[in-house]
Amino acid sequence: MPELPDITIYIESLAARVLGQPLVSLVVKTPFVLRTVAPPVSAVQGRRVTGLRRLGKRIVFDMGDELFIVIHLMIAGRLRWRAPGAKMPAGHVLATFEFLTGVLALTEGGSTRRASLHIVQGEAQLAAIDRGGIEPLDINRDTFAAQLAHENHTLKRSLTDPRIFSGIGNAYSDEILHRARLSPLALSQKLTTEEVTRLYDAVQVVLREWTARLRDQLGGEFPETVTAFRDEMSVHGRYGKPCPVCGAPVQRIRYASNETNYCARCQTGGRLLADRAMSRLLREDWPRSIDEVE
């Protein structure tokens, strides 16, 4: 799922192409993607894009007079940009936004349809979509600490809960926790002052660093290959590969359709965290420390 750095880059790329431009037409090709009935699609057609903003992991088009188009890409949704008259991208196109400068296509891979499109009137209706988490890059260390300690959750859950922090998901939470040298299963109310500071600093550095890196990689082009798995990442999606800091093999915890990656030597003092499926299967043969698997 595109997260804060990816959504930021999408918005920057869109702003360069559609800000101030009229939306000539919005065509909803798959009815399920549109989750609202009022205002109608016709209400936004012909209006100019007066602003773009991020709302958690959503992209918001400000169409003036407090009329908004909100796109949530979810896991497999992506945005594609094509010059006027160019062939539409391959794959399942959910909706197209035609501007004088080009066409924006909302696509979604796979068979599960989760991406969504809302058209809402008024800041209050827009706020109702927001999950309420605070912006992690707009707060100081004390505010971060208070938000983190409000409820006692694992750090992985705290970072990815959109009601606590806005815009952080599975991928960047793994990278943040590795940078902070903290276990994903450490409890938010049990951290020392020094650990909270490490985590706060890691959030600031990782999110800003990756936003800058993605921006530099694009060089002004539209982001066509947004992914949660990148070779430059330290642990996310790198199960079994060497940690770039200590060289130990990256470990994982699997649950439902998600996976948490971490370095046992850097983050848990060498202790392997129980993988629910594998630890049940292996029982007493489940290794307890990283030294047993190296």
The CATH number for 123's domain is 3.20.190.10
177 plus 276 within the same structural domain: yes
Please, are residues 239 and 247 in contact by the beta-carbon 8 Å criterion? no
164 plus 286 within the same structural domain: yes
Report angle CA 160, 3, 256 to the nearest 5 degrees: 50
Residues whose CB is less than 8 angstroms from the CB of residue 284 and which lie 6 or more positions away in sequence, other chains included:
none
**Residue 241, exposed/middle/buried by CB under 10 A (0-12, 13-18, 19+)?**
middle
At 147-158, the pLDDT tens digits run: 999 999 999 999
What predicted TM-score, i.e. pTM, was given to this entire model?
Answer: 0.92
What is the predicted pLDDT for the residue at 267?
A: 98
163 plus 254 within the same structural domain: yes
Residue listed under structure tokens 């989750």: 35
Domain boundary among 80, 104, 129: 129
153 plus 52 within the same structural domain: no
Cis peptide before 2 (omega within 30 of 0): no
287 plus 141 within the same structural domain: yes
Q: What is the DSSP string of 215-244?
A: HHHHTTS------S--TT-SSTT-TTSBPT
189 plus 114 within the same structural domain: no
107 plus 143 within the same structural domain: no
CA atoms of 288 and 249, how far apart (whole Å): 14
Q: What is the DSSP string of 85-132?
A: TPPPPSS-EEEEEEETTEEEEEEE-SS----EEEEEESHHHHHHH---
Residues whose CB is less than 8 angstroms from the CB of residue 109 and which lie 6 or more positions away in sequence, other chains included:
76, 78, 91, 92
Residue listed under structure tokens 């990283």: 290
Domain boundary among 72, 102, 129: 129
User: How many domains does the chain fold into?
Assistant: 2
152 plus 187 within the same structural domain: yes
Mean pLDDT, each 10-residue run in order, the chain (294 residues): 96 98 96 95 98 97 98 95 88 94 94 90 96 96 97 96 96 98 97 98 98 95 91 96 97 86 97 68 40 40
- Please give the share of the chain, as a percent, with pLDDT higher than 90: 83
**Residue 126, exposed/middle/buried by CB under 10 A (0-12, 13-18, 19+)?**
buried
What is the predicted pLDDT for the residue at 277?
A: 52
Q: Strand order of the sheet with strand 51-55?
A: 51-55, 58-62, 67-72, 116-121
Domain boundary among 72, 103, 129: 129
What is the predicted pLDDT for the residue at 36?
A: 96
168 plus 222 within the same structural domain: yes
Range of the domain at 26: 4-129
The enclosing domain of 217 has a CATH number of 1.10.8.50
154 plus 269 within the same structural domain: yes
147 plus 288 within the same structural domain: yes
117 plus 256 within the same structural domain: no
